[in-house]
């Protein structure tokens, strides 16, 4: 591979796209991917719970990986996180984070008044709630990814989602350590969900690997 310095334009091996140097149109396209992916995920969840779920306009941010923790903040807030890796044409990482109280409420909606069973002292969630959360994670990350694959006509596959319940700093930090093995700069496509009676809902983070950015943007005709 060539070095990271932009040098000869006619270089045989193209260096990975510089995430710090994207133009407005490219950033807009990435935001749109987040929008469509999360929109699809939100409607899937809506179908499961029977409650309408809205979402904010996605934010696209670029920063050193180790600053993402500070950027998200609230390190000690207890959350449920679903993490998976995207494999295929455009590898990357997806994390879906919901505050613990919201997760309980979602489980309640999903199970339609069924008894949840005794909560596990370590997590605060019952066995049945945990499987419900795993299912929510599967459906949401799956539909996000399918929407993205349809849009870009790429082959994208999720690894089986992993579930974690703890302080957000601990969960996100572990994911970021994983991410930082392949990149020092993270590009975040972040979408916040909202439901009428839940003031703080969840966040969906998609972090493409640096090589994927180029693949994605090329598939959309945004790289010459």
Partner 1 sequence: MSSTTPTKTPPRASSIKVGLGQLVVSKSPGDVLSALGLGSCIGLTVFDPVTKIGGMVHVMLPSSEISTHSGPDGKYADTAIPALVDQVSRLGGDPSRLVCKMAGGAQMFSGGSGGGSLNIGSRNAIAVRAALQVAGLRLKSAQTGGTFGRTVDIHIATGLVTVRTVGGAVEEL
Residues that bind partner 1 (CB under 8 A): 64-70, 75-76, 78, 81, 83-85, 121-122, 124, 134, 159-164, 166-174, 176-178, 180-184
Residue 177: Cβ-neighbour burial (10 angstroms; 0-12, 13-18, 19+): exposed
Residue 206: φ, ψ to 5°? -120, 125
Sequence-distant (6+) residues with CB within 8 A of 110 are 48, 49, 132, 135, 136
Q: Closer to partner 1 by CB, 43 or 174: give it.
A: 174
Q: Closer to partner 1 by CB, 164 or 202: give it.
A: 164
Smallest separation (angstroms) from partner 1 to the CB of 28: 27
Smallest separation (angstroms) from partner 1 to the CB of 212: 16
Q: Which of 134, 136, 154 is nearest to 145 (CA)?
A: 154
- DSSP readout, 7-45? --TT-SSPPPP-GGG--HHHHHHHHHHHHHHHHHHHHHH
Q: Helix-strand-coil percent breakdown of the chain, rounded to 5?
A: 45, 25, 30
Cα(80)–Cα(75) distance, integer angstroms: 13
Smallest separation (angstroms) from partner 1 to the CB of 216: 20
Smallest separation (angstroms) from partner 1 to the CB of 183: 6
Q: Which of 197, 191, 205, 40 is nearest to 108 (CA)?
A: 197
Smallest separation (angstroms) from partner 1 to the CB of 75: 4
Q: Closer to partner 1 by CB, 67 or 150: give it.
A: 67
DSSP 67: G
Cα(176)–Cα(65) distance, integer angstroms: 7
**Beta-bridge partners for 222:** none
Q: Closer to partner 1 by CB, 22 or 81: give it.
A: 81
Smallest separation (angstroms) from partner 1 to the CB of 197: 25
Q: Closer to partner 1 by CB, 41 or 175: give it.
A: 175
Smallest separation (angstroms) from partner 1 to the CB of 223: 22
Q: Closer to partner 1 by CB, 53 or 81: give it.
A: 81
Is 162 in contact with 81 (CB distance < 8 Å)? no
Q: Closer to partner 1 by CB, 25 or 170: give it.
A: 170
């Amino acid at each position: 591979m060539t070095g990271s310095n932009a040098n000869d334009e006619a270089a045989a091996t193209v260096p990975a796209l510089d995430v710090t140097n994207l133009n407005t149109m490219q950033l807009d396209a990435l935001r749109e991917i987040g929008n469509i992916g999360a929109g699809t995920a939100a409607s899937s969840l809506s179908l499961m719970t029977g409650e309408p779920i809205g979402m904010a306009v996605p934010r696209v941010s670029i920063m050193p990986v180790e600053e993402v923790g500070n950027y998200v903040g609230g390190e000690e807030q207890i959350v449920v996180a679903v993490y998976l890796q995207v494999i295929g044409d455009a590898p990357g990482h997806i994390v879906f984070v919901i505050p613990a109280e919201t997760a309980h409420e979602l489980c309640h909606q999903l199970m339609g008044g069924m008894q949840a069973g005794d909560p596990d002292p370590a997590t605060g969630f019952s066995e049945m709630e945990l499987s419900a959360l795993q299912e929510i994670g599967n459906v949401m990350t799956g539909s996000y990814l399918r929407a993205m694959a349809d849009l870009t006509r790429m082959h994208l596959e999720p690894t089986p989602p992993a579930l974690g319940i703890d302080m957000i700093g601990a969960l996100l930090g572990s994911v970021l350590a994983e991410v930082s093995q392949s990149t020092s700069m993270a590009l975040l496509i972040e979408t916040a969900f909202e439901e009428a009676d839940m003031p703080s809902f969840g966040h969906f983070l998609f972090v493409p690997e640096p090589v994927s950015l180029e693949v994605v943007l090329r598939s959309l005709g945004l790289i010459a």
